[in-house]
Structure 1
């Protein structure tokens, strides 16, 4: 069974379209037309066109059952801002650490507005269809011996007992844990210079948020290939 996956997007619609083109080309070459394509979340923040990414993926998912989109921690933060969550101050969301100012600009909202006006402007600017799409995003997708999540899992817990907080945010102890998790965990969240295949996990966030590429991969069992404009490049398993 072939599975496709794309890493953290962070508002880069141009890179996302190009990644989909590479998947389409691989489908044509390899005859994998029915294979799912899973996005591991973080549609928004930091990049220039979060609104475009949300709208484009919402359309693709609605018209193509093969397209799966997971929720990332940045998507959850954006939802919290839209809901007026008092535990997420606007200045924190708009700061460089999260990069929410770029998301607001993509919806035509000036992040420099006073807080009450800004919240009202944002609620008016984000289409109801975008809100509904974000609210429906799952935290995990399982297929073909893989479990796709945004950040990772809590080692030692069954996959069906994982907490949302871990699926969205975990780093330690997941990244250093070497035990078998019962499935290959395909994740983003923690940027790596290039796609990393470990015996128990596959890291595919290659830093599009910070000027890196947006990686798309083909997964067949525990074999992984990076999709490039000229075809597949096998990814070796790290020791």
Structure 2
């Protein structure tokens, strides 16, 4: 069963569109217009065009593209900021909030035209954000799913908690987990396709496939095709096996 996947985007519309073009090229080569394309989450933050990424994905789904878009931890932080500017994600260390330079929320606000948020009172910044973000975009972000299961493949943003049934996984783990999942070599019953933890290039570990090729730090947005538990990186020259 064939599924396409695109890794963390982080506000880079040009890189996203290049990755989607590689998916379209592979579809044409194999004659498959039906297989879904799953975007792994972290649509926003750090890159310059978060708003445009969101609007591009919304528009694609609206015109009938077979796109699945998952929620990442950065997307959840933005969702919660829209609800309450003082909300603190429990998975973030104390003293670090969504607008902290390490997180990247300020770049997302800039893409929506909210200027100088670090220099103004938070209620004022929040009011400007609510005025700038269309209600449709806000509802779309809030409704993003946290997982997508297809045959032998499970797509999530960060990973799963090993030893917990797939049906019992909780959102905090699906969006934030690292070491407990990354260091576990066991078979999870499915190939877990994820992002969240930035690495130099897409890597297949046998029980999981990490799609986060560091777009947030100057790397590409990567695209892959998964058939059963086998995967190939999509490049301008075609498929490259991920062994």
Q: Return the TM-score normalized by structure 2.
A: 0.94
Q: Does 1:180 align with 2:163?
A: no
Q: Does 1:97 align with 2:102?
A: yes
Distance 2:64 2:204 in 1: 28
- CA RMSD, Structure 1 to Structure 2 (Å): 1.4
Query: Cα distance, 1:161 vs. partner?
Result: 0.3
* Mapping 1:39-118, distance limit 5 Å: 39-64=39-64, 66-88=66-88, 92-110=97-115, 111=117, 112-118=119-125
**Cα distance, 1:56–1:180 mapped onto 2, change above 3 Å:** same
Query: Cα distance, 1:61 vs. partner?
Result: 1.6
SS at match of 1:74: helix
Q: Does 1:166 align with 2:173?
A: yes
Distance 2:86 2:110 in 1: 22
Distance 1:76 1:88 in 2: 11
Query: Cα distance, 1:65 vs. partner?
Result: 5.0
Distance 1:166 1:17 in 2: 29
Structure 1 residue aligned with 2:26: 26
Q: Check whether the contact 2:81–2:87 (CA below 8 A) recurs between aligned residues.
A: no
Distance 1:144 1:15 in 2: 29
Match of residue 231, structure 1, among 221, 227, 238: 238
SS at match of 2:88: coil
Distance 1:222 1:91 in 2: 37
Distance 1:103 1:140 in 2: 24
Q: Check whether the contact 1:107–1:125 (CA below 8 A) recurs between aligned residues.
A: yes
Q: How many residues align?
A: 236
What 5-or-longer segments of structure 2 have no aligned partner? Answer: 90-94
Structure 1 residue aligned with 2:225: 218
What 5-or-longer segments of structure 1 have no aligned partner? Answer: none
Q: Return the TM-score normalized by structure 1.
A: 0.95
SS at match of 1:191: coil
